[in-house]
């Protein structure tokens, strides 16, 4: 019959939302998600009210159920009307059969308690919580969000303009900042839990949903999971979450990094045929840089650097707070400039091209905001001055008697070495190479991700010799010395803070308090 065939042709995967080919399959051919449950259908379905027994009934004497709008393993979600206020609300009900499971009841109560703590415009608002007088089911009443989740937005509107992407995720981070300040960690942030609605004068207004497995740090409720038990959605879980380690708010920031990667490229940074494969990749593999993963996507160098920083395996190398992450994200559109050679603030550390290309194309690379002929003229003058200075310095050195052999060059630190003898002549300016220093910092990050901290430390020290003002090099070096040379770590952290207070000030203060 044609109707079933059309319906099968319009099936979509419940996780990646891609349209599946006709026929019956047990797994999604794109992401491997099991399809034991019938996939979502695009075809028009019969009226839901005709298929659900609770439609038209009143819960707790105040909420009249109008329509079933969603369901899952724990229960159903309805659109209902608050009779006293004549206001549409979202009514979430736990299945009566699950009331005997204390874990699921605890999770349901935890969602209500966690969400009720939050009072932020971008967090879902809980209005009521109780037990139904119809069948004894537990229910949560929340505000009804008229919009679509990020998964659908990504499916329908990708690629998104980078400025729009930043505004959407900045609201997510604002909601997380409020949650973290209230001692609530979400632990299951993903596109399905971020709703976007179009309000008058407020396009792309965000609501963060579903605190069902949230961790409430100062709660006296019994824990739903032990610290060594994994919970969450594998594709969005931080490495420390995947290994069952102790968690803090930075696991939510990793999930934001995954969502940013997905929104920028249209792909997840890590995926696999099963959950274990995905979790293993989160713990052991480096993500492919977004611009390499999707070369034709509108991804700036600043956005790529921020995404890769958020996806660091070590939580100490990520943005440390939601507020810091939000500020960095909102700066991305202002720093976009040229998409090939980006001259941004110190937190942009990944070169847009290979360092050899930067050197060979130094005279032809455009400077944002300057006419091209003037750029070349200035570059030629600067190059000539540098060569002349180098020649003059070499003539002066030749004219002097040979001094005794100098001691081995000292390891550069964040504080000036007052005890070292002053050099006989100033170092030629060409020895300072900020581009090479940025390259070394990125290579150090790669070696550190592979657990080779010795090589990473050597590269960072070389980077500081080439560019003493590279704040990120000092910050990363401080982290490498944190557990072995406390004073050296303190010195490097203080240098990072001095060179880039906006980026490192708060996090360095927090780290130094623990030393």
Structure confidence at residue 332 (pLDDT): 94
Structure confidence at residue 337 (pLDDT): 52
Structure confidence at residue 167 (pLDDT): 96
Average pLDDT of the residues of the chain: 75
Kindly give the interhelix angle for 162-181 and 250-265, rounded to the nearest 10 degrees. 170
Q: In whole angstroms, give the CA distance from residue 65 to residue 57.
A: 6
Structure confidence at residue 367 (pLDDT): 35
Structure confidence at residue 504 (pLDDT): 87
Q: Does the pLDDT value for residue 42 go beyond 70? A: no
Q: SS3 string of 54-108?
A: CCCCEECCCEEEEEEEEECCCEEEEEEEECCCCEEEEEEEECHHHCCCHHHHHHH
In degrees, rounded to 5, the angle at the alpha carbon of residue 287 between the alpha carbons of residues 469 and 25 is: 165
Fold identical between 50-143 and 148-219+229-336?
A: no
Structure confidence at residue 163 (pLDDT): 94
Q: What is the pLDDT of residues 501-512, one digit of tens each?
A: 988 888 888 888
Distance, first Cα to last Cα, the chain: 72
Give yes or no for a contact between 13 and 192, defined as CB atoms under 8 angstroms apart: no
Confidence of residue 28 (pLDDT cuts 50, 70, 90): low
Q: Does the pLDDT value for residue 317 go beyond 90? A: yes
**Structure tokens that stand for 74 in this block:** 């724990």
Q: In whole angstroms, give the CA distance from residue 40 to residue 99.
A: 27
**230 vs 97, residue with greater confidence:** 97
Structure confidence at residue 16 (pLDDT): 59
Structure confidence at residue 30 (pLDDT): 58
The pTM for the full model equals 0.55
Q: In whole angstroms, give the CA distance from residue 248 to residue 416.
A: 36
Q: Does the pLDDT value for residue 357 go beyond 60? A: no
Q: How many CA atoms lie less than 13 Å away from 379 in the CB half-sphere?
A: 16
| Active-site entry in 101, 133, 188, 218 | 188
**482 vs 266, residue with greater confidence:** 266
Q: In the chain, where are the structural domains located?
A: 12-45, 50-143, 148-219+229-336
* Beta pairing, strands 184-185 & 194-199: unpaired
Q: Does the pLDDT value for residue 438 go beyond 50? A: yes
Q: What is the CATH code for 50-143?
A: 3.30.200.20
Respond yes or no: is residue 149 known to be catalytic.
no
Q: What is the pLDDT of residues 382-404, one digit of tens each?
A: 555 555 555 555 544 444 444 44
**Structure tokens that stand for 120 in this block:** 């932020």
Q: In whole angstroms, give the CA distance from residue 510 to residue 497.
A: 12
In degrees, rounded to 5, the angle at the alpha carbon of residue 423 between the alpha carbons of residues 419 and 424 is: 140
DSSP letters spanning 107-173: HHHHHHHHHHT---TTBPPEEEEEE-TTT--EEEEEEPP-SEEHHHHHHHHPSPPHHHHHHHHHHHH
What is the CATH architecture of 148-219+229-336? Orthogonal Bundle (1.10)
Q: In whole angstroms, give the CA distance from residue 142 to residue 14.
A: 24
Structure confidence at residue 354 (pLDDT): 37
Q: Does the pLDDT value for residue 275 go beyond 80? A: yes
């Amino acid at each position: 019959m044609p109707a079933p065939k059309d319906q099968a042709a319009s099936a979509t995967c419940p996780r990646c939302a891609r349209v599946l080919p006709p026929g019956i399959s047990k797994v999604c051919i794109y992401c491997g998600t099991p399809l034991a449950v019938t996939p979502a259908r695009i075809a028009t379905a019969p009226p839901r009210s005709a298929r659900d027994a609770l439609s038209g009934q009143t819960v707790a004497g105040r909420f009249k159920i109008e329509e079933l709008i969603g369901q899952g393993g724990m229960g159903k979600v309805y659109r209902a009307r608050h009779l006293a206020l004549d206001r549409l609300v979202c009514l979430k009900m736990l299945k009566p059969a699950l009331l005997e499971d204390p874990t699921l009841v605890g999770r349901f109560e935890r969602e209500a308690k966690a969400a009720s703590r939050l009072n932020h415009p971008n967090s879902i608002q809980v209005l009521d919580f109780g037990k139904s007088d119809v069948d004894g089911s537990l229910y949560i009443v929340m505000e009804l969000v008229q919009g679509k989740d990020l998964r659908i937005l990504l499916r329908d509107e990708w690629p998104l303009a980078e400025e729009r992407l930043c505004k959407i995720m900045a609201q997510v981070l604002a909601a997380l900042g409020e949650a973290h300040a209230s001692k609530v960690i979400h632990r299951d942030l993903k596109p399905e839990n971020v709703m976007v609605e179009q309000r008058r004068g407020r396009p792309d207004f965000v609501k963060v949903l579903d605190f069902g497995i949230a961790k409430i740090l100062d709660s006296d409720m019994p824990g739903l999971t032990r610290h060594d038990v994994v919970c969450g959605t594998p594709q969005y879980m931080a490495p420390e979450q995947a290994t069952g380690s102790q968690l803090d708010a930075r696991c939510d920031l990793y999930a934001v990094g995954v969502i940013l990667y997905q929104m920028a490229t249209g792909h997840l940074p890590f995926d696999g045929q099963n959950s274990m494969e995905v979790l293993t990749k989160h713990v052991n593999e480096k993500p492919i840089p977004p611009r390499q993963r999707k070369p034709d996507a509108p991804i700036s160098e600043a956005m790529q650097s921020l995404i890769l920083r958020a996806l660091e395996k070590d939580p100490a190398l990520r943005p440390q707070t939601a507020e810091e992450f939000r500020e960095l994200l909102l700066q991305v559109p202002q720093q976009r400039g040229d998409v090939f050679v980006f001259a941004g603030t110190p937190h942009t550390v990944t070169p847009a091209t290979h360092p050899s290309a930067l050197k060979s194309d130094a005279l032809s690379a455009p400077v944002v905001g300057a006419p091209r002929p003037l750029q070349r003229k200035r570059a030629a003058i600067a190059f000539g001055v540098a060569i002349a200075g180098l020649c003059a310095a070499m003539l002066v050195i030749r004219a002097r008697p040979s001094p005794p052999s100098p001691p081995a060059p000292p390891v550069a630190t964040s504080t000036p070495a007052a005890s070292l003898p002053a050099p006989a002549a100033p170092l030629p300016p060409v020895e300072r190479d900020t581009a090479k220093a940025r390259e070394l910092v990125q290579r150090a990050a790669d070696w550190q991700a592979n657990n080779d901290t010795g090589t990473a430390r050597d590269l960072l020290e070389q980077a500081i010799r080439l560019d003493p003002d590279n704040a990120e090099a000092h910050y990363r070096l401080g982290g490498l010395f944190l557990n072995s040379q406390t004073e050296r770590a303190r010195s490097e952290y203080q240098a990072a803070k001095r060179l880039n207070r906006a980026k490192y000030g708060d996090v360095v203060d927090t780290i130094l308090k623990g030393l």
